[in-house]
Amino acid sequence: MSVQEDKQQELRLGNSFGWVVAVGFFLLAGWFFLTEPVQDHPLTEPVRVQASIINSGAFRTATPEPPIVVIAGMKQQCNSCHTLFESKQMSPRRLAQHTELTLNHGGNEWCFSCHDTEDRNKLVLPDGEQIGYDRIPELCGKCHGPTYRDWQVGIHGKTLGYWNKEMGEQTRLTCSQCHDPHSPAFPTMQLLPGPNTLRMGEGDANIDRHDHKHNPLRKWQEPKSNPWEEGH
């Protein structure tokens, strides 16, 4: 075989190889253009949390000053009743009224530790000074000194609005905007949804943390109930 023939043979081979590659590319390109793109999301069904559940304000509504109570759909002040009817007895007793209240305030078991005996629209400090409902922290501070001092400088309690008072308004919530004065311990509450690993199917929720058996590729499953959706 001459060198020339050898070379031609090589070129023929090279050529047919080139064709194979080219046809391969064309097929690949055709496949890319014809197939639908892979849908990435939603990979898992997101758990919807109602925006209104996230409350960026006070935890509860405090009694205003002067106090307003709604009785039978009518707005009343404490004195609306208490000036008409006289309280029978000025010592701790079981009440026929105010049954909606549960008094669960530790050793403080008497209404008149905080409420004024004369003017029911007022509260009272231990030294007998009548105060309005706007001075509740002072009253609470008479027993809860350390917490009151923390609250005064912003360590205890919730602050809203601006950290920088020069740039905007700052609101410091007062005691009764978080605590129910009759039952002041912060209540247990429902929690918002946890991470997706909780919803990856039977055997994955509440995984035992000592054997990391859950499979992160497992698909999301409908939770038994979703208390965070609209309408719940």
Instruction: Identify residues 100-119 at the interface with another protein (CB under 8 A).
Output: 104, 106
Minimum CB distance to another protein, residue 69 (Å): 25
Question: Quick one: which of 77, 177, 183 has its CA closest to 137?
Answer: 177
- The reply to whether 3 sits near another protein by the rule CB under 8 A is yes
The set of residues, in sequence order, having a beta carbon less than 8 Å from that of 178 and lying 6+ positions away, is 58, 59, 60, 157, 158, 186
119 versus 204: smaller Cβ distance to another protein: 204
For residue 92, whether the previous peptide bond is cis, meaning omega lies within 30 degrees of 0, is no
- The reply to whether 221 sits near another protein by the rule CB under 8 A is no
* Subset of 126-145 contacting another protein (CB under 8 A): 144-145
One of 97, 102, 117, 206 touching another protein (CB under 8 A): 206
User: How distant is the alpha carbon of residue 198 from its chain centre?
Assistant: 18
3-class secondary-structure state, position 177: helix
Q: How many residues bind another protein (CB under 8 A)?
A: 79
Structure tokens belonging to residue 208: 């035992």
- The reply to whether 184 sits near another protein by the rule CB under 8 A is yes
| Residues 26-35 as b or e (16 or more Cβ within 10 Å = b) | eeeeeeeeee
* Subset of 5-24 contacting another protein (CB under 8 A): 7-8, 11-12, 14-15, 18-19, 21-22
Q: How far apart are CA 120 and CA 116, in angstroms?
A: 6
Minimum CB distance to another protein, residue 87 (Å): 28
119 versus 138: smaller Cβ distance to another protein: 138
- The reply to whether 92 sits near another protein by the rule CB under 8 A is no
One of 90, 160, 201, 215 touching another protein (CB under 8 A): 160
